[in-house]
Amino acid sequence: MEEVWDAQTLLAAYEVMRRLRLDRFAGVVSAGKEARIYRAIDRQGRSYAVKIYLTATAEFRKSIWKYLLGDPRFSGIDTSNTKKLFFAWARKEYRNLLRMYEAGVRVPKPYLVYKNIVVMEFIGKDGLRAPLLREIARELSREEAVMLAKEALKQYELIYCCARLVHADYSEYNLMYLDGRLYVIDVAQAVSLDHPNSSLFLHHDLENIHRFFSRQLKIELPEVEELERWVTSCQRKCRREKEARLP
């Protein structure tokens, strides 16, 4: 069903449910070419986001090479084994989430990775996921748009300077909005600063932010090169304790 639930993924999901004492899955939150995200509920009624990668997606398999190759954390991957490749990709997302979370970046709190499944905090209310930034763009006042532009750059500065990562797919499609705050999502492709393509990915990320806020929302922003200098200057004091992530 939904290209997700083969026998191996079913067994992995049962193990995830056992470890986190989840009671049930409560439907699809998001569906993409490479993964499905489900809302799961534990025995105390708390919600989780469960991301399950589709291990049979050949097209996606081709697209992840540029993010894995050159990352010293995953240099020993058996690239001939498709399922192991996707297991490594899930681990990469979990480790990137954890690294960002501990650096103070506003990301979903990661709870568990097991095979091709990543479990994280559910960002939303009343069983509904929070909207993406692109989905609320037309509803924003100018003041809100200015505030969110600053917040998007602040979060990226934390990613770069404190987590020592480059997101590599930072845009209005990977930022969620809830109660006036932005949350960074979809971080599997994020690379460390010593990745050979990190500078290219950084420039592309900031081009995306400049395009969205400057061209689409008509917010005056410095040019991309200036944004890049500001983000990489790393003048912010990095606080790695979780208490820094105040609600």
205-219 pLDDT, tens digit per residue, is 999 999 999 999 999
Least confident segment among 17-21, 84-88, 157-161: 84-88
What is the pLDDT at residue 247?
Answer: 44
- Residues pairing with 31 in the sheet: 36
Where in the chain are all domains bearing CATH 3.30.200.20?
Answer: 7-125
Catalytic residue among 169, 179, 194, 205: 169
Confidence class of residue 4 from pLDDT cuts 50, 70 and 90?
confident
What is the pLDDT at residue 140?
Answer: 93
Least confident segment among 63-72, 109-118, 128-137, 170-179: 63-72
pTM attached to this predicted model:
0.89
State yes or no: pLDDT of 92 exceeds 70.
yes
Contact partners, residue 239, CB within 8 Å, separation at least 6: 104, 162
Q: How many helices (H) and strands (E) does the chain have?
A: 8, 11
Structure token pair of residue 208: 């995306």
What is the pLDDT at residue 239?
Answer: 59
- Residues pairing with 184 in the sheet: 175
State yes or no: pLDDT of 238 exceeds 80.
no
Confidence class of residue 77 from pLDDT cuts 50, 70 and 90?
low
CA 184 to chain centre: 6
Structure token pair of residue 130: 């929070």
Other CB atoms within a 10 A radius of the CB of residue 233 amount to 11
Number of alpha carbons in the 13 Å side-chain half-sphere of residue 162: 25
- Asked if 23 is an active-site residue, the reply is no
Structure token pair of residue 222: 């410095």
Mean pLDDT computed over 156-185: 96
Q: Which of 236, 209, 237 is nearest to 224 (CA)?
A: 209
User: CA dist 178 to 105, 150, 165, Å?
Assistant: 15, 16, 24
State yes or no: pLDDT of 190 exceeds 80.
yes
| SS3 call for 178 | strand
Q: Which of 190, 49, 31, 33 is nearest to 117 (CA)?
A: 49
Catalytic residue among 42, 186, 194, 205: 186
What is the pLDDT at residue 216?
Answer: 92
Dihedral sign of CA atoms 2, 3, 5, 6 in order: positive
- Residues pairing with 52 in the sheet: 36, 117
Alpha-carbon distance of 218 to 211, in angstroms, equals: 9
- Asked if 186 is an active-site residue, the reply is yes
Domain covering 7-125, topology: Phosphorylase Kinase; domain 1 (3.30.200)
Confidence class of residue 34 from pLDDT cuts 50, 70 and 90?
confident
What is the pLDDT at residue 28?
Answer: 92
| The CATH homologous superfamily of the domain defined by 130-244 | Transferase(Phosphotransferase) domain 1 (1.10.510.10)
DSSP 108: P
Alpha-carbon distance of 37 to 174, in angstroms, equals: 14
With beta carbons less than 8 A apart as the criterion, state whether 191 and 71 touch: yes
Where in the chain are all domains bearing CATH 1.10.510.10?
Answer: 130-244
Least confident segment among 11-20, 50-59, 210-219: 50-59
Other CB atoms within a 10 A radius of the CB of residue 125 amount to 11
What is the pLDDT at residue 84?
Answer: 79
